Chains A and B, each alone.
Chain A
Amino acid sequence: MEAELQVLWAAIVAYVLSGVIAIFGVALGRHRERIVLGLIVLGLTLQTVSLGMRWSRIGHGPFITLFEILNSNVWSLMLVFAIAYWRIPKLRPSAAVVMPVMFVLMGWLMLAHPGEGHFPPTYRTPWLYIHIGMAKVFLGATLVALGIAGIVLLRRFGVGIRRFANLPDDSRLDELAYRFMALALVFDTLMLITGAIWAQDAWGRYWAWDPLETWSFITWLLLAFAIHMRLTFRPHPVRNAWMIVAVFVLAFLTFFGVPFVSESAHKGAV
């Protein structure tokens, strides 16, 4: 276990360095985008190795304990952000917003106990990977949207105006963030559908108002609300940005809060 943890800490060091360089890059107006991307890719590679070592040692993927769930989410969120960072240069400064959020997750991961959990028989199905995969893309898209919304909000509060000045104007960023919210809605919908199919197979009901199910549905409703709000009132980008923050916070609490405070079957209980 030691070796896999050391590789994981090395990955985290790479992520933290990339984040620090990104934040200073924005603050000081120096563009070090290739270095930032290179460090993220290095972190991803190391973390993939660490996850693989653990997977082959304990015989199942990172789906059970808080440590594993944080670990796999740091990985998937960094992966989604890395792809967006690489493909859409305009949103690169948003790393200064996204990386601090990731630091929270990474800090939490380092505090979590890396022990093993029981892998319940209901997890031995392809739906595990499909459902969790959808959830990860959903959260990843929401994180990218949050990063863009963060720029709009920072500008509004006068932080980094100069640094962010050469970025597209608020309405263009708003449009870009909206695309990621749309992507989030599609994958959130897929997550709910695949989760219902899996629940029907595993527990004999597709919906039972368990806390994680219910809060995921409320997150979906908030997304529907945010999208309709935008259509109906065409709000200022700053308002839309706040809506995105709300969606991210709710999704974050649902993902990382509810499973660890509820005693429902979703935890993979006996």
Chain B
Amino acid sequence: MRARASTWPAFFSWTLGALASLRLTLVLIVLLAPAVVLALNFEEWRSWPLAIPLAGLAVNLLAALATRPAFRVQPALVVFHLSLGALLLLIALGRLSYLRGTLELTEGALFDGDLTTVDAGPFHAGRLKEVRFAHDGFTIGYDPGLKRNTTRNPVRWLDESGRWRKSVIGDHHPLVIGKYRFYTSHNKGFAAVLSVESEGSLPRTTVVHFPSYPINEFGQTNELQLGDAGGNVWMLLDFDEVILDPARKSEFRLPTDYQLIVRDGDARHELSTGNAVSLKGVTLRFEGLRTWMGYNVFYDWTLPWLAATSALAVLSLGWHFVGKFRLKAWDN
């Protein structure tokens, strides 16, 4: 009985000692390097291969903090290593609860919480459905050679107290609503606004976003679903004028002279603003042209904590080295 009682503490302290080993730290750092290279090259390898050595380092660090006398006498070093641990924890929490997505919004239309693409952590619990904003067009300058320059995108948005507010976003100024951050992107283009009226139902307005401009300068086509009966019709936004001239500075704008070509089977219709066409019992009226902007949305509640913890890490690292090197001159 006695022998057993003393074996357990011995085993426990041996394990703790092994976990706190600085050789283990080296091994784990070496294991992390190929995991990072894998993560660089393969998107599907960005979780477990990284998580395993990182979790190992976290355990190793906790054990070392608990047992190593070196830490006891160097408080700045403790703060530095603890902040590295805290960063790991925050990144893990961020990965579980983040959201990243894209959306396209027609000028003047209200964002209603729906995203075109979404990628979110398993525990994302934000309130995107309640977020409301609209944009009032944008200006984007282009330098010669079609090099995109400054983006200015005036937006209106509902703040948390229910008041509408205005600001201008673009480039490194996202729209921040709650913890959601909306960034303008290089994705933007022209949108045809149409009213659709079919027998027996109320007219509705719909928009067709043509592919991003100028990347798809020669592919300004899209399809519209007319409803259950009508099937799809094919559309082309047709204009001849040069919007962005590669030879000089220019600015993104709507074309002034354009037509909407609508093709339904073999039938082809050319619509100017205000024109209508009847297709299979559905009347389609071209109400006009607007812009649309593509946004990237990002949610990660850990961002301010990550910033603060990183600042703490680097300050304590500096503090540790200043303390250590102050004792002896550099030109000793």
Contact = CB atoms under 8 A, between A and B. Distances in A.
Contact of A225 (B30, B151, B324, B331): B30
Contact of A193 (B22, B151, B314, B324): B314
B46 interface: yes
B110 to A, nearest CB: 21
Nearest to B306: A206
Interface residues of A, number: 46
A182 B183 contact: no
A215 B46 CA distance: 15
A201 B311 CA distance: 17
B202 interface: no
A185 B39 contact: no
B143 A118 contact: yes
User: A-side binding surface: helix, strand, loop or mixed?
Assistant: helix
Interface in B164-188: 170-174, 181, 183, 186
Contacts of A270: 147-148, 186
Nearest to B70: A231
Given A201-B172, A218-B33, A121 B317 contact: no
B321 interface: yes
Given A124-B171, A204-B183, A88 B331 contact: yes
Contacts of B313: 189
Contacts of A203: 183
B30 A204 contact: no
Contacts of B310: 193, 196
Contacts of A202: 171-172
B29 interface: yes
26 contacts: A87-B330, A90-B331, A121-B150, A124-B171, A127-B172, A182-B321, A186-B314, A186-B317, A186-B321, A190-B314, A193-B314, A204-B183, A204-B298, A206-B303, A209-B39, A217-B36, A218-B37, A221-B29, A225-B26, A225-B29, A225-B30, A229-B26, A231-B22, A232-B22, A270-B147, A270-B186
Interface of B: 22-23, 25-26, 29-30, 32-33, 36-37, 39-40, 46, 100, 143, 145, 147-151, 170-174, 181, 183, 186, 296-298, 303, 306-307, 310-311, 313-314, 317-318, 321, 324-325, 330-332
Interface of A: 87-90, 118, 120-122, 124-125, 127, 172, 176, 179, 182-183, 185-186, 189-190, 193, 196-198, 200-206, 209, 211, 214-215, 217-218, 221-222, 224-225, 228-229, 231-232, 270
Given A120-B148, A125-B172, 17 more contacts: A87-B331, A121-B150, A124-B171, A127-B172, A172-B332, A179-B325, A179-B330, A183-B321, A185-B317, A190-B314, A193-B307, A193-B311, A197-B307, A204-B174, A214-B36, A225-B26, A270-B148
